[in-house]
Amino acid sequence: MHAPATSGAVLRLVIAVVLFATGTTQAQAAYPSKPITVIVPFAAGGPTDALARILCGKMSEILGQQMVVENVGGAGGTIGVNKAARAAKDGYTLLFTHMGTLAVNIALYKSLPYDSQKDLEPIGLGGTNPMVLVTKKDLPAKDFKEFQAYVTANQKKVQYGMAGIGAASHLGGLMLNSMMKVDVLEIPYKGTGPALNDLVAGQFDYMVDQAVNVLAQINSGNIKALGVSSLKRLPQLPNVPTIDEAGLKGYEVAIWNGFFGPKGMSKDNIAKINDALVKALADPNVSKRLTELAVELPTKEEAAPAALGNLLTASIDKWVPAVRAAGVKPE
């Protein structure tokens, strides 16, 4: 008499389990189902911020959800990186940063609140930026040779600016000064924008910053470009020699930028973000905009999570001893 009721209960239980499992699968497949916050650990207006906004704009279209850039600057990018590293692992808080915060900062700070390799999951390489040595327009040097001679002879009064401790411009200037064997006054700013504004105004003498950030001012004649940091001339500045060919042999600094997530972010979610990134990089309009800004675009293989992880390891192995050898005292 009671068998049918029992059978019905069992049937309802089975249906409930199936529906739950189906719902769970659908929920997992729905990522992202809400906007994604992308932390850029620098002030708005800088080169990493510009690259992030171009990529996130297209990736938002591909994913069907907004990727919202949140600028969390301060302490050489460490505040923003730490916030991203401590975020939930659900894939709704990501990090877009450059190698300075994850590799160079290891040598610049006595202790960091995060471990670049243990606390973050590599997602994909967004692009690599060569750098340009730029000076105030009335600096008495028409080429790198004259610049080096002027700086060497006037070390007590020459000043170089940069966007803050750990910024790309800090690394570029640090390595330039070290290789030129000069000791000049260093002026740290809170972001690239303020630093570049003061260079245009002639408040200090020179800086080495990512091409993406200085091309407009160079082309407008507001500052002078005397050398590029890559080993090949830039198509955007064909008449500007590399610093290496101009006489400072071995000088080469390129700044890569990439997406990372908190450690433990699911492989499926990493794959979805990476897929959107690869598609965005292949988009003709995105490619054109980034190329105009002198950004070197990665191949699909170079943009893979594992490749970015290997690049991070290689950057730590290269730059930490180089910065320490330059005599920088950690803060």
DSSP state of 101: I
DSSP state of 162: E
Residue 166 class from Cβ within 10 Å (0-12 exposed, 13-18 middle, 19+ buried)? Answer: buried
Locate the domains of the chain by residue range.
Answer: 34-128+256-325, 130-228
Instruction: Please report the pLDDT score of residue 6 as a whole number.
Output: 52
Instruction: Please report the pLDDT score of residue 63 as a whole number.
Output: 98
How far apart are alpha carbons 73 and 94 in whole angstroms? 15
- pLDDT tens-digit map of 31-53: 999 999 999 998 887 788 989 99
CA atoms within 13 A on the CB side of 177: 25
Q: How large is the angle between the packed helices 168-180 and 144-153, nearest 10 degrees?
A: 80
Kindly state the tokens that stand for 271. 């794959």
Instruction: Please report the pLDDT score of residue 111 as a whole number.
Output: 92
Do 14 and 131 contact (CB within 8 A), yes or no? no
> Which residues of the chain are under the pLDDT cut of 50?
1-5, 14, 18-19, 22-27
Q: Residue 242: beta bridge partners?
A: 228
Kindly state the tokens that stand for 37. 């916050």
Q: What distances in angstroms separate CA 22 from CA 9, 18, 112, one per listed residue?
A: 20, 6, 43
How far apart are alpha carbons 132 and 142 in whole angstroms? 15
The region that residue 178 occupies, defined by phi over 0 for left and psi between -120 and 50 for alpha, beta otherwise, is alpha
How far apart are alpha carbons 280 and 277 in whole angstroms? 5
Instruction: Please report the pLDDT score of residue 161 as a whole number.
Output: 97
In the numeric block, the tokens 């730490």 are attached to: 82
Instruction: Please report the pLDDT score of residue 196 as a whole number.
Output: 94
Determine which helix (DSSP H) or strand (DSSP E) holds 106, and give its type and residue range.
helix 105-108
Instruction: Please report the pLDDT score of residue 24 as a whole number.
Output: 46
DSSP string, 227-250: EESSSS--TTSTTSPBTTTTT-TT
Instruction: Please report the pLDDT score of residue 10 as a whole number.
Output: 52
| Same CATH fold assignment for domains 34-128+256-325 and 130-228 | yes
DSSP string, 262-330: ETT--HHHHHHHHHHHHHHHHSHHHHHHHHHTTPBPPPTTTTSHHHHHHHHHHHHHHHHHHHHHTTPPP
How far apart are alpha carbons 235 and 238 in whole angstroms? 5
Kindly state the tokens that stand for 36. 């994604």
pTM of the shown model:
0.82
Those residues with Cβ within 8 angstroms of residue 248's Cβ, 6 or more apart along the chain or in another chain? 144, 148, 176, 179, 180, 227
Q: Which CATH number is associated with domain 130-228?
A: 3.40.190.10
Instruction: Please report the pLDDT score of residue 12 as a whole number.
Output: 58
CATH architecture of 34-128+256-325: 3-Layer(aba) Sandwich (3.40)
Instruction: Please report the pLDDT score of residue 127 as a whole number.
Output: 95
Instruction: Please report the pLDDT score of residue 326 as a whole number.
Output: 83
